[in-house]
Chain A
Amino acid sequence: MAEEYLAKVMAEIDEEVLRRRSSGDLPKRVEWELDDLFLRYSPMAGRNGSLEDALGVVESASFIDPVVPVDSSRSGGALVKRTIRRASLWYMGWVTAQISRFAAATSRTLRVLDERLSVLQTEFDTQRVPVAPVIETEWAHGPGAWWVDRVLERLAGQGGRVVHAAAGDGWLVRRLTDGGLDAYGVEPRTGRIDRAEIEGLDLREEPVLDHLRAVAPEGLGALVLTGVVDGMTAAERDTVVGLAARTVAPFGRVIIHSLSGQGWISNDAPVEADLASGRPLRPRTWATLLGRVGFDVEVVDGPESLDYLVLAVSGGGEGIGTTR
Chain B
Amino acid sequence: MKVVFVTPRYGPEVMGGAESASRLLAEHLAVEPGFEVAAYSTCALDHLSWENELPPGDTVMNGVDLTRFEVAGRREEEFFKIDGRLRRSPRHVSWDESQRWLELNGPHVPDLIGALRDGDADVAVFSPYLFLLTVAGIRAAPMPTVLHSAAHDEPALYFPAIGDAFARSDALCYYTAAERRLVQRIYPVADKPQIVLGIGLGDPVPGGRGGRDLLGLGDRPYLVSLGRVDDHKGSAMLDTFFRRYKEHRPGPLALALVGPVSSTIEPHPDVVVTGAVDEPTKWDLLRDALAAVSPSALESFSLVIMEAWEQAVPVVVNALCEPTRDHCAHSGGGLWFGSYRQFEVVIDRLCEDPELRRRLGANGRAYVQEHYQWPALTARYARFLESVVERGRPPGD
- Residues in A whose Cβ lies below 8 Å from that of B231: 41
Interface-centre pick from B234, B339, B391 (highest chain A CB count, 10 A) = B339
- Report the bound CA distance from A156 to B188 in whole Å: 26
Q: Within 8 Å of chain B (Cβ to Cβ): is A318?
A: no
In whole angstroms, what is the CA distance A210 to B185 when docked? 9
Contact A41 B237 (CB under 8 A): yes
Do A2 and B188 contact each other (CB < 8 Å), given the known contacts A41-B231, A41-B297, A44-B158? no
Residues facing A in B223-255 (CB within 8 A) are: 231-234, 236-237, 240-241, 244, 248
B152 to chain A, nearest CB (A): 7
Query: Known contacts A2-B331, A3-B332, A43-B297: does B153 contact A219 (CB below 8 Å)?
Result: no
Option from A13, A40, A184, A197 in Cβ contact (under 8 Å) with B349: A13
B277 in the interface, Cβ–Cβ < 8 Å? no
Asked if B261 CB lies within 8 Å of chain A CBs, one says no
Beta-carbon contact of B189 and A41 below 8 Å:
no
Q: Shortest beta-carbon distance, A162 to chain B, in Å?
A: 10
Q: How many residues of B contact A (CB 8 A)?
A: 66
Q: Which of A35, A44, A205, A211 contacts B339 (CB 8 A)?
A: A35
A35 engages B329 (CB within 8 Å): no
A263 at the interface (CB under 8 A from B): no
Are A217 and B153 closer than 8 Å at their CB atoms?
no
Please judge, given known A-B contacts A17-B345, A43-B320, A44-B90, whether A198 and B339 are in contact too, CB under 8 Å. no
| Interface residue stretch chosen among B49-57, B129-137, B190-198, B213-221 | B190-198
Q: Enumerate B273-324 residues with CB–CB distance to A below 8 Å.
A: 296-298, 320-322
Check if B211 is an interface residue, CB within 8 A of chain A: no
Q: Which of B38-46, B65-73, B101-109, B376-384 contacts A (4 or more CB under 8 A)?
A: B376-384
Q: Assess whether B153 is in contact with A41, with CB atoms less than 8 Å apart.
A: no
Instruction: Pick the interface stretch among A45-53, A106-114, A308-316.
Output: A45-53
* A residues near B349, Cβ cutoff 8 Å: 9, 12-13
Knowing A2-B332, A34-B240, A46-B297, say if A216 contacts B189 (CB, 8 Å).
yes
A85 to B85, CA, bound (A): 33
A residues less than 8 Å from B232 (CB atoms): 41
Q: Give the chain A neighbours of B344 by CB distance below 8 A.
A: 20
Residues of chain B in range 152-197 having any CB-CB distance to chain A below 8 Å = 152-155, 157-158, 167, 177, 180-182, 184-185, 187-191, 193-195
Q: Report which of A20, A38, A206, A215 forms a contact with B188, defined as CB distance below 8 A.
A: A215
The reply to whether A200 and B383 contact each other, CB–CB distance below 8 Å, is: yes
Contacts of A30 in B (CB 8 A): 244
Contact A42 B320 (CB under 8 A): yes
Which applies to chain B's interface (DSSP): helix, strand, loop or mixed? Answer: helix
In the complex, A45→B155 CA distance in Å?
10
A223 nearest CB across to chain B (Å): 10
Write out the residue numbers on chain A whose beta carbons fall within 8 Å of the beta carbon of B329.
Answer: 3, 6
B346 at the interface (CB under 8 A from A): yes
> How many whole Å from B237's CB to the nearest CB in chain A?
5
Q: Is A279 an interface residue (CB 8 A)?
A: no
A13-B335, A41-B237 in contact; A198/B340 too (CB < 8 A)? Answer: no
In the complex the two chains form, is A34's CB within 8 Å of B244's CB? yes
Among A10, A21, A39, A220, the residue within 8 A (CB) of B191 is A220
CB-nearest residue of chain A relative to B156? A44
A16 on the B face (CB < 8 A): yes
Q: Is the CB of A49 within 8 A of B320?
A: yes
Contact (A219, B342) CB under 8 Å given A2-B363, A41-B298, A205-B177: no
Bound CA span A12–B231, Å: 30
Chain A nearest CB, measured from B390 CB (Å): 9
Given A13-B345, A44-B158, A200-B387, verify A37-B191 contact (CB < 8 Å).
no
- In the bound assembly, the distance between CA atoms of A20 and B366 in angstroms comes to 34
Binary flags per residue of A278-307, CB closer than 8 Å to B gives 1, else 0 = 000000000000000000000000000000
Judge whether A82 is part of the interface by a CB distance below 8 angstroms.
no
- The verdict on B81 contacting chain A, using a C-beta distance below 8 Å, is no
Whether the pair A43, B154 counts as a contact (CB closer than 8 A) is yes
Residues B340-397 near A (CB distance < 8 A): 340-342, 344-346, 349, 356, 359-360, 363, 366, 376, 380, 383-384, 387, 391
Q: For A271, what are the chain B residues with a Cβ–Cβ distance below 8 Å?
A: none
Question: What's the tally of chain A residues with a CB closer than 8 Å to chain B?
Answer: 54
| CB < 8 Å neighbour of B345 from A16, A34, A35 | A16
- Give Cα A212 to B190, complex, Å: 8
A235 interface residue per 8 A CB criterion = no
> In the assembled complex, how far is the CB of residue B138 from the closest CB belonging to chain A, in whole angstroms?
16
- Contact at A35–B340, with CB atoms within 8 Å? yes
CA distance A16 to B349 in the complex (A): 10
Contact between chains at A214 and B190 (CB < 8 Å): yes
Residues of A within 8 A of B180 (CB): 204, 206
Instruction: Annotate B16-27 by CB proximity to A: 1 below 8 A, 0 otherwise.
Output: 000000000000
Interface string of B140-161 (1 = CB under 8 A from A): 0000000000001111011000
Residues A182 and B391 in contact in the complex (CB < 8 Å), given A3-B332, A34-B240, A198-B380: yes
* In the complex, chain A residues whose CB is within 8 Å of the CB of B193: 184, 202
Q: Do A13 and B153 touch (CB < 8 A)?
A: no
> Smallest distance from the beta carbon of B347 to chain A beta carbons, Å?
10
Chain A, residues 1-42, CB within 8 Å of chain B (1/0): the string is 111011001101110110011000110001100110111111
Residue B333 lies at the interface, judged by CB distance under 8 Å to chain A: yes
* Cβ-based interface call for A81 (8 A): no
The answer to whether residues A43 and B321 also contact, given A13-B345, A38-B340, A202-B194 and a CB cut-off of 8 A, is yes
Assembled-state Cα–Cα distance A45/B90 (Å) = 12
For A217, what are the chain B residues with a Cβ–Cβ distance below 8 Å?
188
Q: How far is the CA of A44 from the CA of B156 in the complex (A)?
A: 10
Given contacts A13-B335, A37-B237, A43-B320, contact A215 B190 (CB under 8 A): yes
Cα A119 to Cα B261 with chains together (Å) = 47
- A10, A31, A43: most-surrounded residue (chain B CB, <10 A): A43
Report the bound CA distance from A216 to B188 in whole Å. 5
The distance from the CB of B238 to the nearest CB of chain A, in whole angstroms, is 10
Q: How far is the CA of A217 from the CA of B349 in the complex (A)?
A: 50
Residues of A within 8 A of B (CB): 1-3, 5-6, 9-10, 12-14, 16-17, 20-21, 25-26, 30-31, 34-35, 37-46, 49, 53, 161, 163, 182, 184, 197-198, 200, 202, 204-206, 210-217, 219-220, 247
10 residue pairs of the A-B complex, CB under 8 angstroms, read A5-B332, A13-B346, A14-B342, A20-B344, A38-B237, A38-B340, A45-B182, A46-B297, A204-B194, A247-B191
Known: A45-B153, A184-B193, A206-B177. 20 other contacts (CB 8 A): A2-B331, A2-B359, A3-B330, A13-B342, A13-B346, A21-B341, A31-B341, A37-B236, A42-B297, A53-B338, A53-B339, A197-B380, A198-B376, A200-B384, A202-B387, A204-B194, A210-B184, A215-B190, A216-B190, A217-B188
